[in-house]
Structure 1
């Protein structure tokens, strides 16, 4: 077993003192590293930092809602457009095809032009694509709209993770790991909202108009995007650390004041250059994708990619197939299926996500991910052995095993796949790092969403044996590579490098 040694950076007492005393005297910033230290010390009481985090999580909410919104209606879509299982797979996977390209370009653009601009652009994708999907006259238009929606999802996740990491303290309650892990309960809140909306629409729509249910569900995705666009100018700012890394210390000082509640003044070095003595972080470049595999980051990249891909493959198969699985187990109508799927999301996945956030600063990401994958593996093996439950006891056990899988996903890989993707890299590489990770994750999602309808039709409940390979593979890599990102000052690596681009 090989191990990554994780250095523990010394506490920066000067930064903490400066931050604590910001109300009495402005903090002095001479370099981007000073800005990072102020952010790492935590926002001032009453600042807008938490609002920024909430808006960033709103983007994650949209990602999850749009990915989930097709799950219940896929049977109606197949019937309305007379689709074969293979065609259903293509329509289902269209959103992840778009997300692959969106993540590839979004990661680079997040580092190149900034977090704010990319975030505002991807909101427009959500609005246009959601409305187009809801009005789709045929499967081709629906697939195209879902592809466009996926491109927006791919753009959004790198920038959302950057906001969560770069507006949070490095240690203690609510640290960077906890903020990033909050993407998970936000995700499950979105999936639960989707099922609640479906339940409400099912209750109010006349029986002869239930064919509109999937259209209204897809189109509703434009609503939260419009809300985010409406509030952006008041609360959203550029990341202060990213701005400082571009050499704009004055801009970073303004952001610290406006959003973080920290008064800061720039002290210029001799000759008027405030950056003369600072080590400049890497400039954004497509070549930075190669940096992810250098001696410093290679093992972290492999670990983050494995956790993300395994988590995505299994979760997408389960969550997309949940209505079908529950209907098969319970042999009931659509109302029971909707309620059961909603209950499983709220009671197991969402609660698990909250536990993942709570334990991130104390237990850490590595232990919780190992525990979560272990529970998932056991749950999937149990489901494979039960097959089609023949009596009430086995039905209850099967439902509890589904809940166990979602619970393990919530506090384990669901929360911390993004912790590893975001906090294994400093600010200069974070967009690229998350973008590369999401390219692989969405590729895994595409395979999962495309194969699940086909495998489920061919194998029935034996498909759980195939899905169980995903958490097992991730567990083996976790045991080989022990990297703990929670509480580690990853941004310090930007200022310790010998030269830009190396």
Structure 2
């Protein structure tokens, strides 16, 4: 719990920021971490910062899913083979691998704020380049650059969500991080709605413009975030304190939380956290001691979740239009309904109930539902009557609900809350690098395996949730409600015992 020190009746501080009258004197980075995790005073800008970070997640999801409906038009326009189609589709996740690997180092080294703001430029430039791509090579290159933005964004967004939320109770760290999931599905739904709108207003001979307009629209929310960044965004107080900048951390607490925090006049000279200076060597720390077990579990959850979700979600329009023999309009409507009613709702339930039940049991439940649904889809095969088609759609709905309530929401919870502030950037980065590799493999293989196996591809996809279940049952770890940030200030022997 935070150290309650002295009280002063001050409503407005000298720097112009309003704060609570209770004055908190900080002497170390540990005090800053405790105030963030346990303080209950009004948080003036913290929730807005969380919302802006979720805006970055919205961009990630939108850009990853925007091409789902247009991939057939891209293949037709550029006369692509199945392998070339897979190359275009997977370029964004390949870029995300590269972006994610380097972002963790940058996020921990130069700060969350700088990396997040620079990242928005990737989205703007890449979205415009995609919209005007004259051939598949330019489109692939632009999607790769867009992937760099996606890979850079998620680790820093997760750091913001974890480090601007309290530890326990409603809206805690696990719930804030889980919000990335319904945000993701909201972005996918927006792309579907935009497709539906453009499909209705574009002249019949110009529907091939759909994919260009959809991809180009991704620049709009990035420009909005850039426009509002200066007023609300700030650095993570925990990161600033770990860098030895207690005065800067106190200023952030006043500005973003409304906490009247001041550095004690007799505080010892601020020390830079040993891991804050380690840089790339921190990747090795993920594979030692107690962090090895957490890293293995978080990685297996992320890889399994990503492989299955990308195959089903990105391939959803293909599944509906080809396997279930739906028209373009009904494919758009079914995809929108499935995402909103099942994936999005599942994500909201994950946010609501993770403070009560924890991330581990909800992830187990989600994987179990996904395994059941994929086995059902494989057994149903290509439906030739209304009943089997209805059952197949119900299985797709069950899969998306399981993703939302389980691994879709909490893969990031495990990745973000398994590590303290000093390791969070590289921890999420390492997790995302391997997860993006799984996504790339899934997006590349899905068109090829579908052509070879038909609906038998669901047997292959079912291996992913099965692997996730086995990992959870073998390596039990509950990150929700655990003060992992305290490990930055504990002795190595204490952390190892934990």
TM-score strictly above 0.5: yes
Do 1:284 and 1:428's aligned partners in 2 also have CA atoms closer than 8 Å?
no
TM-superposed CA distance for 1:397, in Å, is 0.7
Alignment: residue pair count: 487
- Structure 1 residues 248 and 187, CA, compared in 2 at 3 Å: closer, same or farther? same
Q: Distance in 2 between matches of 1:497 and 1:441?
A: 31
Do 2:6 and 2:24's aligned partners in 1 also have CA atoms closer than 8 Å?
no
Corresponding residue for 1:275?
270
Q: Distance in 1 between matches of 2:5 and 2:38?
A: 6
Q: Distance in 1 between matches of 2:330 and 2:277?
A: 54
- Structure 1 residues 252 and 19, CA, compared in 2 at 3 Å: closer, same or farther? farther
Corresponding residue for 2:15?
none
TM-superposed CA distance for 1:296, in Å, is 1.6
Task: Within 5 Å, give how 1:94-493 maps onto structure 2.
Answer: 94-269=91-266, 273-275=268-270, 281-493=275-487
Corresponding residue for 1:64?
61
Q: Distance in 1 between matches of 2:129 and 2:247?
A: 42
- Structure 1 residues 46 and 296, CA, compared in 2 at 3 Å: closer, same or farther? closer
Do 2:2 and 2:38's aligned partners in 1 also have CA atoms closer than 8 Å?
no
Do 1:43 and 1:262's aligned partners in 2 also have CA atoms closer than 8 Å?
no
Q: Distance in 2 between matches of 1:347 and 1:364?
A: 23
Do 1:111 and 1:284's aligned partners in 2 also have CA atoms closer than 8 Å?
no
TM-superposed CA distance for 1:327, in Å, is 1.0
Q: Distance in 2 between matches of 1:279 and 1:57?
A: 28
Task: Write the deviation string for residues 146-184 of structure 1: whole angstroms up to 9, x where unpaired.
Answer: 000000000000100000000000011110000000000
Task: Write the deviation string for residues 455-498 of structure 1: whole angstroms up to 9, x where unpaired.
Answer: 00110000000000000011001001110000000000000134
Q: Distance in 1 between matches of 2:466 and 2:127?
A: 36
TM-superposed CA distance for 1:261, in Å, is 1.0
TM-superposed CA distance for 1:44, in Å, is 3.0
TM-superposed CA distance for 1:20, in Å, is 13
Corresponding residue for 2:48?
51
| Unaligned segments of structure 2, at least 5 residues | 11-18
Do 2:43 and 2:256's aligned partners in 1 also have CA atoms closer than 8 Å?
no
Q: CA RMSD in A?
A: 2.0
Q: Distance in 2 between matches of 1:450 and 1:20?
A: 62
- Structure 1 residues 151 and 19, CA, compared in 2 at 3 Å: closer, same or farther? farther
TM-superposed CA distance for 1:275, in Å, is 2.5
- Structure 1 residues 158 and 13, CA, compared in 2 at 3 Å: closer, same or farther? closer
- Structure 1 residues 28 and 157, CA, compared in 2 at 3 Å: closer, same or farther? same
So what's the TM-score if we normalise by structure 2? 0.95
Corresponding residue for 2:13?
none
Do 2:6 and 2:22's aligned partners in 1 also have CA atoms closer than 8 Å?
no
Q: Distance in 2 between matches of 1:224 and 1:150?
A: 16
- Structure 1 residues 20 and 98, CA, compared in 2 at 3 Å: closer, same or farther? farther
So what's the TM-score if we normalise by structure 1? 0.94
TM-superposed CA distance for 1:282, in Å, is 4.0
Q: Distance in 2 between matches of 1:67 and 1:18?
A: 50
Task: Write the deviation string for residues 200-250 of structure 1: whole angstroms up to 9, x where unpaired.
Answer: 000100001101000000000000000000000000000001001000010
Q: Distance in 2 between matches of 1:319 and 1:18?
A: 53
Q: Distance in 2 between matches of 1:328 and 1:483?
A: 41
TM-superposed CA distance for 1:384, in Å, is 0.1
| Unaligned segments of structure 1, at least 5 residues | 1-11
Q: Distance in 1 between matches of 2:369 and 2:194?
A: 30
Q: Distance in 2 between matches of 1:245 and 1:470?
A: 38
**Matched position secondary structure for 1:397:** helix
User: Does residue 20 of structure 2 align to residue 23 of structure 1?
Assistant: yes
TM-superposed CA distance for 1:14, in Å, is 3.7
